[in-house]
Amino acid sequence: MFESPTIAEFVTQSNLASTLPGTLLVAWTLLLVLVDLFAGDEREHWTPLGACLGLGVSFVANLFVYAPAADQQTALYGMFIADAFTGFLNIVILVATLLAVLMSRDYLMRAGIHRGEYYILTLLSSAGAMFMVAANDLIVVFVALELLSIPLYILAAFRSIKNDGGELALKSEESGMKYFILGAFSSAFLVFGAALVYGASGTTNIPQILEVAPAVVDAASSATFYLVVGTALLIVGLGFKVAVVPFHMWTPDVYEGAPTPVTALMSVTAKIGGFAALLRILVTALSVLLLVDGGVAAWQTTISIIAALTLVLGNFVAISQRNLKRMLAYSSIAHAGYIMVALAAAGTAGSADSATQGALVYILAYMFTNLGAFAVVMTIERVDGGGGNIDDITGLARSRPLLAMAMTIFMLSLTGIPLTAGFVGKFMVFAAAVQAGLVGLAVIGVLTSVVSAFYYMRVVVNMYLRDSSGELLPALETVYVRWAINIALAGTLIFGIFYPLASNLVSMVSIA
Amino acid sequence: MNAIGTEPYIILSMVLFLMGALGVLIRRNAILLFMSVELMLNSANLALVAFAREWGQVDGHVFVFFVMTVAAAEVAIGLALIVNIFRERQSINIDDLQQMRG
Amino acid sequence: MNVLNEWAFIGMFAVLAPIFPALPIVIAWLFRPRKPNVLKSSTYECGVETIGDTWVQFRVQYYIYGLIFLVFDVEMVFLFPWAAAYNEMSLFGFVAGFLFIFLLTDALFYAWQKNALEWK
């Protein structure tokens, strides 16, 4: 019946071992579905506990698989690639998910709803992100992106929040609906782009596209046209996912309306997945082929313009926001712009590796800092969704000094002040941009960072300096969100103070 | 056999894709929005199948299977969201979803 | 056969195709007796005329049934090629197919336990 390889041969050929971090997480999640079914209401804490354990198992598997870190290998017949890039981003995704699960536990407990499905969807979404950073084939990019996005659509619409009058404000459904429509719209762009790239090159495998592409470009036939249009559509589709200007319109509404832990999760994992795919597709598959003149990829100009627009718009619009979640939404658009700077820098021949490493360190710093900031917002936000305005944080330093201290450090890190992780990330990205000859873009980056200080520091000013003679702010949160803040704070400070740590971690990374 | 080349199929798929994209931008009824997105995905399917024929491979066909599956999953989620919203506010017009502005 | 001939074939088809359904209608119109009355000239629809608004809300249960049906409907997209290629498959494909079926069974079990299969 079969060509009959033995089980052992089959395991080696498909190289399943190197996919273990992702596949174990999925298998664990499926088990968790059954656990959640039979646990019942008295043991509803089993599911979040199991979710944390599953993340731990995946984390350990990740350490084993990527321990040597040196040799990259493919799995599942070339569809999956396991290299230092994958291993590093897997860790970032797992830590982000752990923080999000802790925040979700707090959120669901305070809202008085026990829904095990919430954690299951969270884990599935993260597994999608893990497959996306390991995708070595356009088909896998697409399927992993959907596994990442579809649970997030549901999570964004998970709970409509009642306002003070007790009537349904329906923000969560609205958020989920908007996220869904824009997400499906962008997926269609991605698929059509992938179809055209496949038509031009005859393969969906990313390294094979690299081999075929120079000939396609030289031929100057309709295939060349397909390749260029396909690349543009791929950039549009993934640009929606990572929310860069001009594909950012959905972000503020979706981030504001979704439950805060979901916002925190999607602001990190969706961006990681999108940027990983952009780096793999543009840098790995399409770098050599589009080197037109002077060793610069043809897409570099486009990406640079998108990056500059994103930096300017994200930072300037954030200034006028009164709602903290909305402000962080625009701030996350701006941060996507900084990662986009690294992506543009990767388009110059020879600086692809340093730019990629810069992007990874930036993502690591952004993950800790952004999740920490959202966790602090959760502590002052009431469960009905109110209380999240920038004025509501006034006097936090008097009533909750430690919390205010943590928020200050997160804000400093988002601005990019030295001794925080944010500085290390920005420094590496700008250094890569200068090395790649994109001095103008680096200057825009530094200037917009100065602008961003204005709205980040306003939060600090509100906490410390504004008159707060009113009553003390009550402690609304549970212990789980405090753990999340502590972990995020530790990450922000450790990677900021011991700054060679992060660059050492990514020194093996090379995707070109 | 292949008297008709790949180009006509690709042109047709591009036209369908544009129609779908315009539909998403112009239509305000949520159901019609989904249908437009489906049209975009199916135009990509047409392109994939045409290219798969040109290259004489099955890769394109396999991609189509995955697109179809994902489209089904998306519709399931989307309709659930629509049902939920309709039950709350008796309307599925996208322009009614304007709680958040600023 | 060159391209022009193929298009000519399509052109002929386009001309002939409308004639076939039109012809019986014209013939019937020529030879039919003409005795109209109210009932005969009313528009024919299958069944009786509807009473009240046709835009009614259906039970959400229909949606849940449709959802479960959809899963197994789409399952066929993968299982049919799997079954067709069964004899030439490697162990990898064999295991992958069963894994896929197992995942769907897991989902069905979940739906069953959540009482999604009960008509309420």
Most A-contacting residue of C82, C88, C92 (CB-CB within 10 A), to test interface: C92
Domain count, chain B: 1
Q: DSSP 3-state assignment of A75? A: strand
% of chain A with per-residue pLDDT over 90: 50
Residue C6: is its pLDDT beyond 90? no
**Residue in A5, A30, A33 nearest the CB of C90:** A5
Which residue of chain B has the CA closest to C75?
Answer: B69
**Residue in A2, A30, A33 nearest the CB of C89:** A2
- Give the residue-averaged pLDDT of A324-332: 92
Q: How many CB atoms lie within 10 A of CB A344?
A: 26
Q: Which residue has the tokens 């300037």?
A: A316
> Does residue B98 form part of some domain?
no
Give the model's pLDDT for residue A1.
Answer: 40
Q: Do B76 and C73 touch (CB under 8 A)?
A: no
Q: How far apart are the first and last CA of chain B?
A: 59
Q: Do C87 and A1 touch (CB under 8 A)?
A: yes
Residue A164 pLDDT grade (very low, low, confident, very high; cuts 50, 70, 90): low
> Does residue B102 form part of some domain?
no
Residue A272: is its pLDDT beyond 90? yes
Interface of C with A (CB under 8 A): 87, 89-92, 94-95, 103, 106, 109-110, 113-114
Please indicate if any CB of chain C lies within 8 Å of the CB of A13.
yes
Parent domain of B55 = 7-93
Output the domain CATH number for residue B84.
1.10.287.3510
> Does residue B70 form part of some domain?
yes
- Give the residue-averaged pLDDT of A187-212: 90
How many Å apart are CA C107 and CA A430, to the nearest integer?
Answer: 47
Residues A30-46 pLDDT 10s: 999 988 888 877 788 88
Which residue of chain B has the CA closest to C7?
Answer: B4
Give the model's pLDDT for residue A467.
Answer: 67
Give the model's pLDDT for residue C45.
Answer: 67
CB-based contacts of A44, cutoff 8 Å, min separation 6: A114, A116
Give the model's pLDDT for residue B102.
Answer: 41
How many Å apart are CA A146 and CA A155, to the nearest integer?
Answer: 14
- Give the residue-averaged pLDDT of A10-17: 72
Which residue of chain A has the CA closest to B65?
Answer: A139
- Give the residue-averaged pLDDT of A209-235: 84
Per-residue HEC secondary structure of A425-467 comes to HHHHHHHHHHHCCCHHHHHHHHHHHHHHHHHHHHHHHHHHCCC
Beta strands in chain C (DSSP E): none
How many Å apart are CA A228 and CA A290, to the nearest integer?
Answer: 9
Q: Do B89 and A170 touch (CB under 8 A)?
A: yes
Residues C44-76 pLDDT 10s: 667 666 777 767 777 778 888 888 888 888 888
Instruction: Enumerate the residues of chain A whose CB falls inside 8 A of the CB of residue C100.
Output: none
Ranges A215-219, A255-259, A354-358: which has the least confidence: A215-219
Domain boundaries, chain C: 3-41, 60-113
Q: Which chains touch B (3 or more CB pairs under 8 A)?
A: A, C
- Give the residue-averaged pLDDT of A424-451: 93
**Residue in C94, C103, C110 nearest the CB of A2:** C94
Q: Which residue has the tokens 């017009």?
A: B93
Give the model's pLDDT for residue A385.
Answer: 65
Compute the nearest-CA separation of C58 from chain B (Å).
10
How many Å apart are CA A104 and CA A469, to the nearest integer?
Answer: 32
Q: DSSP 3-state assignment of B92? A: coil
Q: Which chains touch A (3 or more CB pairs under 8 A)?
A: B, C
Instruction: Enumerate the residues of chain A whose CB falls inside 8 A of the CB of residue B30.
Output: 177, 181
Write out the DSSP string of C87-99.
GG--HHHHHHHHH
Q: DSSP 3-state assignment of B4? A: coil
Which tops the pLDDT comparison, A307 or A478?
A307
DSSP state of A466: S
> Does residue B1 form part of some domain?
no
Compute the nearest-CA separation of A36 from chain C (Å).
10
Give the model's pLDDT for residue A120.
Answer: 94
Q: How many CB pairs under 8 A join A and C?
A: 27
Instruction: Enumerate the residues of chain B whose CB falls inside 8 A of the CB of residue C6.
Output: 3-4
Give the model's pLDDT for residue A511.
Answer: 72
> Does residue B30 form part of some domain?
yes
Contacts 24+ apart (CB under 8 A), C60-67: C60/B83, C60/B87, C61/C119, C61/C120, C63/B79, C63/B80, C63/B83, C64/C116, C67/B76, C67/B80
Q: How many CB atoms lie within 10 A of CB C80?
A: 11
Q: Do C2 and B65 touch (CB under 8 A)?
A: no
Residues B41-90 pLDDT 10s: 999 999 999 999 999 888 899 999 999 999 999 988 998 888 888 877 77
Which of A286, A277, A304 has the alpha carbon at shortest distance from A224?
Answer: A286
Which residue of chain B has the CA closest to A205?
Answer: B59
Give the model's pLDDT for residue A219.
Answer: 77
Q: Which chains touch C (3 or more CB pairs under 8 A)?
A: A, B
Residue A2 pLDDT grade (very low, low, confident, very high; cuts 50, 70, 90): very low
Which of A32, A18, A140 has the alpha carbon at shortest distance from A86?
Answer: A18
Residue A89: is its pLDDT beyond 90? yes
Q: Do C92 and A3 touch (CB under 8 A)?
A: no
Q: Hey, what amino acid is at B56?
A: G
Q: DSSP 3-state assignment of A232? A: helix
DSSP state of A137: B
